[in-house]
Amino acid sequence: MLDLFADDAPWSEPLAEGAVILRRLVRDEGAALLALVLDVAAQNPFHHRITPGGHRMSVAMTNCGDLGWSTDARGYQYSEQDQATGRHWPPMPPRFRQLATAAAAQAGFADFQPDACLINRYEPGAKLTLHQDKDEKDLRQPIVSVSLGLPAVFQFGGFERGDATQRVLLEHGDVVVWGGPSRLRFHGILPLKAGVHPVAGAYRYNITFRRAR
């Protein structure tokens, strides 16, 4: 039985209305989740996408599920196939789907069923600038974001890019869920600091679940 009073027990840390960090929620199964990530990457390798403005993203990404998110000169889009290869995305592992649904429910969003899973790999110096997740058709559905590997500083802002941001450290096994009144808040990741994680080595991996259609 889980001892809720143990120093390493999971706990919830509110960020804003409709947004919460589920600290250490999946820390104990981090190695198993990372193995699933690497299995997806073996089928669809990590790739540095090019933004519509012609910039190479510092974060490498892959996808799994019915739909995958990508960016190129034509813009940002979800599609059933990787536009770079013409192949369908790998299927979403059942454990990923279970994790996303359970975490969303714990954060107050019942019946979340993701159809897209974006996986980002960060190396030292990689970052994700402030942005909104707004390419999904149903913005009533939350975002579920899982951190594995090296720690990173997560920025969680307001509804305009220039709004003040909270800066919180995300560590291996933390899960962030946001939706409802916080669904369109700007968020990002500051440049990753170098280090070596016992499970993930020199990288941080971020598994993000969405309902895209």
Residue stretches of the annotated binding site for Fe cation:
131, 133, 187
Q: What is the H or E stretch that residue 143 is in?
A: strand 143-149
DSSP conformation class of 132: -
Helix (H, G, I), strand (E, B) or coil at 44: coil
- Binding site, annotated residues for substrate: 69, 76-78, 135, 161
- The Cβ of residue 130 has, within 10 Å, a number of other Cβ atoms equal to 17
Beta bridge partners of 148: 205
Radius of gyration of the chain (CA): 16
Indicate if the alpha-carbon torsion angle 92, 62, 141, 19 is positive or negative: positive
What are the binding residues?
69, 76-78, 120-122, 131, 133, 135, 161, 187, 204-210
Q: Residues forming the annotated binding site for 2-oxoglutarate?
A: 120-122, 204-210
